[in-house]
Amino acid sequence: MQQKDNQLEKLTAHLFRENAGKMAAVLSRRFGLEQLDTILDCIQDTFEAALTRWRYGNVPDNPAAWLMTVSRNKLINALKRNARMNLEETITTQETTTQPDFVIDEQHILDSQLRLLLACCQPVISEKNQIILTLHILCGFGLPEIANALRMQQETVKKSLTRSKALLRQQPLQQLTQASPIDGDRLPLVLTILYLLFNEGYKTTRKAKGIDPDLCYEAIRLTRIVFDTVTINREQTAALLALQFLTLSRFPARLTDAGEWLSLEEQNRDLWDQRMITEGFFYLRKATQGKQISRYHFEALISSIHCCAKMFGDTDWPSIVMLYRQLEQLHPEDASLTLNRIIAGSYYSDPLDCLHELNGTASLHQIPGFLLEAARGHLLQRAGLYADAANAYLLAKSLAQSPVDQCFLEKKIKACG
Amino acid sequence: MKEFLLLLRESTDLTQMTPEEMQADMQAHLQWMEELVQKGHFKAGNPLDTEGRHIRGTNRLVTDGPYVESKECISGFYFLLASSLEEATTIASGCPALNNGGMVEIREVIETHAAEG
């Protein structure tokens, strides 16, 4: 009888998905982004070969290395077949498919992923399309998974990818090969996309498990790559990581089993993930070692204050309000910061004063109607004006798009009855 | 224990699967096989390459085949140990290939050295 034990243990979670990104990064760095389509085809072929062989119980001892070697061999063969490139120039004599192992050190893989991430995050591509492209190429997400995670039509995702990949192919090879791929100007762009990718995962989560938290985990994985490979502005990257971990720590408590939102006030804080909180504070300490301060710093600090409060009533609201005020100064264009600051203020000052400020702040008109009305309802409720509060919640509910938001508001209306 | 040959026929278009789906499919197969090994039902198993040849007739006419696209294409085989065809059928019903539109054929291997019973 053949010995077939421990086959499953060789496979880590998301092995294929994660290695799709690593292979794309290493191969596009070596052979150029103009070969991107061929590279992605070869990666898919490699997975098919792995699926066919491994499921009969012959998983190699180092699956990631097998995938890397096979995809590289398939690519070299495909490029030779296509004969679109001058082989003597690009493929060295030692570099043939008969080379037994294609061993690449971790640092090279990390570095390649950073370079590909930089290529994906560039202003010629819209922010939304940068997210889609990053998810596809660096995170190994397929079309249905991206469409599901970002609540888009699969056809729209496909069109976006076709456009973005065409733009990527035009990137000179040099960008992926130069010694120092990143400078102080490029980093903020990359961090913005990783911040948005995380937020997409956070705001679209409809279940505690499944694809949605995966976006958040992918954002963290990529942000860690930036932290591990980029030596400039590390405090800013650390602050983003701190923010991501601290926010993610509340995931287990954020939804009921039926998929309904729970506010911070309603959440069972015992469910907050202490490992994530510890990780968050680790990066928060790294973030505050220099003089740099960024949006991520303030947001991470606000999140850390919530994580420190044993009960909702223990929350240090004055500090949160102070941090929001600094964020407002840093980003005067973002009205949601003002709204959040007013709500935070209502927990320790006169809610009617807060309502007065809410009504008198013109910039808040940019806020989606249902959020603004929900905030109005909240302030009225805190002031004890329950009938008015119920009306505001009712209006908010009529403006809300998602069933989860509507359900949340329905509960609020009932509470005011 | 009798020996049974399981022939897997699949027409799953792998190119339509995402990496995550492929990994899930593979893990389901490994999980299934792991259980067979532990219960002593597993003897051997291997996939078959998609490329092959057909040879027919006295003039030994060689053609390409099988055709991967068709449902008749055998993608792999297992040799299983079971006490009866019924038990082998129950075991084979757990094969994850059936979840993706595959088909499993079960045939008992005739033990030619055993006395006719």
What is the rounded distance in angstroms from the CA atom of residue A380 to the CA atom of residue A385? Answer: 5
B18 touches chain A (CB under 8 A): yes
Could you tell me the two tokens for A272?
Answer: 């907050």
Between chains, do A14 and B42 touch, taking CB under 8 Å as contact? no
Dihedral angle sign, alpha carbons of residues B90, B92, B97, B101? negative
Interface check for A169 against chain B (CB to CB < 8 A): the answer is no
* Higher pLDDT pick, A404 / A2: A404
Phi, psi of A238 (to 5 degrees): -65, -40
Residue given tokens 């593979």 in the structure block = B26
pLDDT band at A104 (very low <50, low <70, confident <90, very high): confident
A46: nearest CA in chain B? B19
* A133 has pLDDT over 70: yes
CA A132 – CA A158 distance, rounded (Å) = 10
Q: In the block, which residue shows the tokens 């294609």?
A: A102
Nearest residue to B47 via CA among B1, B78, B25: B78
Does the CB of B2 have a partner CB in chain A at under 8 Å? no
State whether ipTM is beyond 0.90: no
Whether the model clears a pTM of 0.95, i.e. scores above it, the answer is no
Determine the distance in angstroms separating the CA of A159 from the nearest CA of chain B, rounded to an integer.
17
Q: What tens digit of pLDDT does each residue of B36-56 get?
A: 999 999 999 999 887 888 888
Query: Taking 50 as the threshold, does the pLDDT of residue A94 lie above it?
Result: no
Average the pLDDT over A87-114 and give the result: 67
How many A-B residue pairs are in contact by the CB < 8 A criterion?
A: 88
- Tell me which of B20, B36, B46, B74 to substitute to probe the interface with A (most A C-beta atoms closer than 10 Å): B20
Residues A357-368: pLDDT tens digits? 999 999 998 888
DSSP bridge partners of B104: B8
Helix axes A234-248, A274-287, angle to 10 degrees: 160
Q: Would you say residue B70 has pLDDT above 70?
A: no
Residue A53 touches chain B, beta carbons under 8 Å: yes
pLDDT in tens, A138-163: 999 999 888 887 878 999 999 999 99
Contacts of A78 (CB under 8 A, 6+ apart): A38, A41, A42
Q: pLDDT by residue (tens digit) across A264-309?
A: 889 999 999 999 999 999 999 999 998 888 999 999 999 999 999 9
Q: Which of B1, B21, B22 should be substituted to probe chain A, the one whose Cβ sees the most A Cβ atoms within 10 Å? A: B22
> Is B2-111 CATH 3.30.70.1060?
yes
To the nearest whole Å, the CA of B56 is away from the closest chain A CA by 28
Of B18, B21, B33, the CB nearest to A4: B33
C-alpha A131/C-alpha A128 separation (Å) is: 5
Q: Is the pLDDT of residue A177 over 90?
A: no
From A33, A26, A75, select the one nearest A169 (Cα to Cα).
Answer: A33
Specify the pLDDT at position B54. 85
Distances (CA, A) of A176 to A28, A29, A118: 8, 5, 9
How many percent of chain A have pLDDT more than 90?
58
Place of tokens 């504070």: A281
A140/B20 CB distance under 8 A: yes
- Identity of the amino acid at A261: W
Nearest to A5 among B18, B37, B47 (CB): B37
Instruction: Give me the sign of the Cα torsion angle A252, A255, A261, A264.
Output: negative
Task: Say yes or no: A158 contacts chain B, CB-CB below 8 A.
Answer: no
pLDDT confidence band for A103 (50 / 70 / 90): low
d(CA A24, CA A43) in angstroms, rounded, equals 8
> What is the per-residue pLDDT across A216-259, written as a single tens digit (0 to 9) for each?
999 999 999 999 988 888 999 999 999 999 999 998 888 887 77
The neighbour count for residue A271, using CB atoms within 10 Å, is 14
Nearest to A2 among B18, B20, B44 (CB): B44
- Give the model confidence (pLDDT) of A248-261 as tens digits: 999 888 888 777 77
Which amino acid makes up residue A319?
S
Which one of A8, A16, A135 makes the best mutation probe of the B interface by having the most chain B beta carbons within 10 Å?
A16
Which chain B residues are within 8 Å of A64, Cβ to Cβ? none
In this model, does residue A186 exceed pLDDT 90? no
Contacts of A28 (CB under 8 A, 6+ apart): A35, A36, A39, A112, A116, A119, A176
Q: What is the mean pLDDT of chain A?
A: 87
pLDDT for the residue numbered A174: 56
> In which band, very low, low, confident or very high, does the pLDDT at A381 lie, cut at 50, 70 and 90?
very high
- Mean per-residue pLDDT of chain B: 87
Please state, for a pLDDT cut of 70, what percent of chain A lies above it.
Answer: 88
Q: What is the mean pLDDT of residues A332-336?
A: 91
Average pLDDT score over residue span A25-49:
92
User: What pLDDT does A201 receive?
Assistant: 82
CB A375 within 8 A of CB A357: no
Say if B93 is an interface residue toward chain A (CB within 8 Å).
no
- The per-residue pLDDT for A208 is 46
Quick one: average pLDDT of B81-96? 95
Confidence bin at B71 (pLDDT 50/70/90): low
Nearest CA to A330 out of A362, A302, A295, A301 is that of A295
Q: Are A220 and A195 in contact (CB under 8 A)?
A: no
A332 touches chain B (CB under 8 A): no
pLDDT for the residue numbered B72: 67
In DSSP terms, which residues pair with A255 in a beta bridge? Answer: A261
Domain segments of chain B: what residues?
A: 2-111
Chain segment B89-100, per-residue pLDDT in tens: 999 999 998 988
